[in-house]
C-alpha cells in the first residue's frame, strides 16, 4: 500500500531561518556537508570558457565561498570523494548511505547536505531515499556552472541547501534536491537539460517546495515510502547485484538482452519505447531471461508518464514487471536494492508501485 502522510499544517510558511536563530545560539542546528564532487566543485582556467573539470575544489573552499551560511547552522564538511558524478559508483553511494545513517543517529547532525554532480544525481538521491534510516533532512545539491564561472550557481544553491537542511520543517520529506530555488523529492526529480541551470524537474509530481536565499516553503510531503519507513537496508552490504539497462529503439537488437543474461545480470531494465514497449523479438528475449530467473522490468525512454502493467504488453504472460513512475536509471536502483533479498516477482512489482 502506498503510504500517505499529512502535512502538520499545509498552509504554514516557514519563517526565514536567520531571523529565528542567531549566530552562536546554542540551538543553531548541526549540519554536516558530505562532499562527493561534481561541477559545484569544478574549475576551469577562465571564467567564460565552456570546458572545465568536475571535482577539483575541496569542501572547505566551497564552505568558504558561502560565509553567511554560518548564520544558518554550525557547519562541518567531510570529503567523501571528489569525482564528476559520471564516475559515481555503488561503492561511494554505499559509503555515503552508511555515513548518513551513522551521523543522523546521534546529535552529530540535525541535517545533511550532499554536494554531488548533476549527471547521476537522480540515482544517488533515489538510492539514499530508499536506504537512509532517518527523518532528518537529507539534501543533495549541485550546480551547472563550475565554481570559477561567471555567475556560478553553486554558492547560492549550497546556501539554500544548508537552509533547507537546517529547517526543522524539512523533517520527514525524505531525500531532497535543492537547486535553482526549487526543492524536489528524490523520487520524482529528473535531469532534463545537459547545460541549463534549470536542469531538474519533477514532471509527474511537481516540486515539493521552494527555497530562495534561505526562505523555505514546503508545499507537500512526498507520497511514496522512504526514509525511516523504508524496508530496505544496506547495513553491511559491500556491493549491489548487477542490473543492466537495455535501450529500446526501432528494430532493436534483441540479443543485447540475451548477452546481458549471459554476462550474469540478476536484473534487466528495458528503457522501452512509449509505455515500456519493445519489438516482438525483444519481448521473446525478455521471456527467455525471466525463465532463467532474471528479473526484467519494463520502463520507458520517454521523459514522463506512468509505465503500467498489461497496457500493451502482457506482463502476466511474459513475467515482466512494470516500472510505473520510475525511469530506467531509477528502476535500476530500486531493482538492485530489491535484489539484495530473495523476493518473488509479484513482491518486486509491488515495490515499484510503493516506492
Ligand atoms: N553539472 C554537473 O554536475 C555535471 C558533471 N558532469 C557531474 O555530474 O559531475
State which of 86, 141, 158 you would mutate to test the pocket of ligand 1, scoring each by most atoms of that ligand within 8 A of its C-beta: 86
Domain count, the chain: 2
* Average pLDDT of the segment spanning 309-318: 97
- Asked if residues 328 and 271 have their Cβ atoms less than 8 Å apart, the reply is yes
Residues 222 and 247 in one domain: no
DSSP string, 166-230: T-GGGTTS-EEEEETTEEEETTT-EE--SS-S--EE-TTT--SEEEETTEEEE----SS--GGG-
| pLDDT tens per residue across span 118-142 | 999 999 999 999 999 999 999 999 9
* Average pLDDT of the segment spanning 75-81: 97
Rounded Cα gap, residues 317 and 294, in angstroms: 15
Work out whether strand 267-272 and strand 295-300 pair parallel, antiparallel, or are unpaired: parallel
Residues 178 and 320 in one domain: no
Q: Is 328 in the pocket of ligand 1 (CB under 6 A)?
A: no
Gap from CA of 35 to ligand 1 centroid (Å) = 13
Q: Is residue 213 part of a domain?
A: yes
Residues 52 and 116 in one domain: yes
Rounded Cα gap, residues 318 and 149, in angstroms: 51
- Asked if residues 38 and 84 have their Cβ atoms less than 8 Å apart, the reply is yes
Q: Is residue 312 part of a domain?
A: yes
**Cell numbers linked to 119:** 549527471
Q: Is residue 338 part of a domain?
A: yes
Q: Is residue 11 part of a domain?
A: no
As for the ipTM of the complex, it is: 0.98
Instruction: State whether the Cα torsion 166-169-174-175 is positive or negative.
Output: negative
Print the domain residue range for 134: 17-229
Q: Which of 36, 115, 118, 199 is catalytic?
A: 118
Determine if residue 58 is labeled as part of a ligand binding site: no
| pLDDT tens per residue across span 283-299 | 999 999 999 999 999 99
DSSP state of 152: -
Type and span of the H or E element at 159: helix 154-165
| pLDDT tens per residue across span 257-282 | 999 999 999 999 999 999 999 999 99
- Asked if residues 299 and 323 have their Cβ atoms less than 8 Å apart, the reply is yes
Q: Is 117 in the pocket of ligand 1 (CB under 6 A)?
A: yes
Q: What SS3 class is residue 138?
A: strand
Determine if residue 194 is labeled as part of a ligand binding site: no
Residues 254 and 115 in one domain: no
The pLDDT of residue 4: 41
Phi-psi region of 180 (alpha: psi -120 to 50; beta: other; left: phi over 0): left
Gap from CA of 6 to ligand 1 centroid (Å) = 35
Among candidate residues 160, 142, 162, the one with its CA nearest the CA of residue 152: 142
Q: What SS3 class is residue 318?
A: helix
Q: CATH no. for residue 342?
A: 3.40.50.40
Ligand 1 atom closest to Cα of 83? Answer: 9
Determine if residue 118 is labeled as part of a ligand binding site: yes
Residues 220 and 345 in one domain: no
Q: Is 180 in the pocket of ligand 1 (CB under 6 A)?
A: no
- Asked if residues 167 and 137 have their Cβ atoms less than 8 Å apart, the reply is yes
**Cell numbers linked to 186:** 528524490
| pLDDT tens per residue across span 9-67 | 433 344 444 445 555 555 689 999 999 999 999 999 999 999 999 999 999 999 999 99
Rounded Cα gap, residues 340 and 167, in angstroms: 34
pLDDT-above-90 percentage for the chain: 91
Among candidate residues 228, 129, 106, 141, the one with its CA nearest the CA of residue 187: 129
Gap from CA of 142 to ligand 1 centroid (Å) = 8
- Asked if residues 274 and 300 have their Cβ atoms less than 8 Å apart, the reply is yes
| pLDDT tens per residue across span 179-222 | 999 999 999 999 999 999 999 999 999 999 999 999 999 999 99
Ligand 1 atom closest to Cα of 55? Answer: 9
Q: Is residue 148 part of a domain?
A: yes
Residues 214 and 334 in one domain: no
Residues 61 and 161 in one domain: yes
The pLDDT of residue 13: 40
**What's the length of the chain?**
355
Among candidate residues 198, 226, 178, 186, the one with its CA nearest the CA of residue 327: 186
230-260 as b/e: b if 16+ CB within 10 A:
bebebeeeeebbebbbbebeeebebebbeeb
Q: Is residue 8 part of a domain?
A: no
Ligand 1 atom closest to Cα of 84? Answer: 9
Q: Is residue 236 part of a domain?
A: no
Phi, psi of 21 (to 5 degrees): -130, 130
Q: What SS3 class is residue 44?
A: coil
Residues 344 and 224 in one domain: no
104 included as an active-site residue: no
Ligand 1 atom closest to Cα of 143? Answer: 1
| Last-in-domain residue among 229, 256, 272 | 229
**Cell numbers linked to 76:** 562541518
Rounded Cα gap, residues 316 and 12, in angstroms: 46
pLDDT tier, 223 (very low <50, low <70, confident <90, very high otherwise): confident
Q: Which of 39, 104, 120, 199 is catalytic?
A: 39
Report in angstroms the alpha-carbon separations of 278 from 262, 269, 274. 20, 12, 9
State which of 52, 80, 85 you would mutate to test the pocket of ligand 1, scoring each by most atoms of that ligand within 8 A of its C-beta: 85
pLDDT, mean over the chain:
93
Q: Is residue 203 part of a domain?
A: yes
Phi-psi region of 206 (alpha: psi -120 to 50; beta: other; left: phi over 0): left
Q: CATH no. for residue 195?
A: 3.40.50.1170
| Last-in-domain residue among 203, 229, 255 | 229
Work out whether strand 182-185 and strand 267-272 pair parallel, antiparallel, or are unpaired: unpaired
39 included as an active-site residue: yes
Gap from CA of 21 to ligand 1 centroid (Å) = 33
Amino acid at each position: 500500500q502506498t503510504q500517505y502522510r499529512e502535512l502538520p499544517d499545509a498552509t504554514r510558511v516557514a519563517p526565514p531561518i536567520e531571523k529565528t536563530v542567531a549566530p552562536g545560539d546554542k540551538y543553531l542546528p548541526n549540519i554536516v556537508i558530505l562532499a562527493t564532487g561534481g561541477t559545484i566543485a569544478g574549475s576551469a582556467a577562465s571564467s567564460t570558457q565552456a570546458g572545465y573539470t568536475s571535482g577539483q575544489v575541496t569542501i572547505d573552499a566551497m564552505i568558504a565561498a558561502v560565509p553567511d551560511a554560518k548564520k544558518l547552522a554550525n557547519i562541518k564538511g567531510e570529503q567523501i570523494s571528489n569525482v564528476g558524478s559520471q564516475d559515481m559508483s555503488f561503492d561511494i553511494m554505499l559509503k555515503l548511505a552508511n555515513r548518513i545513517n551513522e551521523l543522523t543517529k546521534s546529535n552529530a547532525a540535525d541535517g545533511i547536505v550532499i554536494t554531488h554532480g548533476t549527471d547521476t544525481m537522480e540515482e544517488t538521491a533515489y538510492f539514499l531515499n530508499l536506504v537512509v534510516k532517518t527523518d532528518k533532512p537529507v539534501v543533495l545539491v549541485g550546480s551547472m556552472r563550475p565554481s570559477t564561472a561567471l555567475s556560478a550557481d553553486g554558492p547560492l544553491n549550497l546556501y539554500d541547501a544548508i537552509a533547507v537542511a537546517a529547517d526543522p520543517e524539512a523533517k520527514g520529506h525524505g531525500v531532497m534536491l535543492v537547486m535553482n530555488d526549487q526543492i524536489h523529492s528524490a523520487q520524482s526529480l529528473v535531469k532534463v537539460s545537459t547545460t541549463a541551470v534549470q536542469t531538474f524537474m519533477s514532471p509527474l509530481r511537481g516540486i515539493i517546495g521552494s527555497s530562495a536565499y534561505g526562505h523555505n516553503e514546503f508545499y507537500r510531503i512526498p507520497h511514496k515510502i522512504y526514509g525511516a519507513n523504508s524496508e530496505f537496508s544496506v547495513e553491511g552490504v559491500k556491493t549491489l547485484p548487477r542490473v543492466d539497462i537495455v535501450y529500446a529503439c526501432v528494430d532493436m537488437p534483441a540479443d543485447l538482452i540475451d548477452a546481458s543474461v549471459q554476462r550474469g545480470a540478476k536484473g534487466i531494465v528495458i528503457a522501452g519505447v512509449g509505455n515500456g514497449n519493445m519489438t516482438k523479438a525483444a519481448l521473446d528475449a525478455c521471456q527467455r531471461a525471466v525463465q532463467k530467473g532474471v528479473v526484467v522490468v519494463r520502463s520507458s525512454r520517454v521523459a514522463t508518464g506512468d509505465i503500467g502493467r498489461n497496457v500493451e504488453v502482457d506482463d502476466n504472460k511474459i513475467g515482466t514487471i512494470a516500472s510505473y513512475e520510475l525511469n530506467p536509471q531509477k528502476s535500476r536502483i530500486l531493482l538492485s536494492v530489491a535484489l539484495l533479498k530473495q523476493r518473488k516477482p509479484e513482491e518486486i512489482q509491488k515495490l515499484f508501485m510503493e516506492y
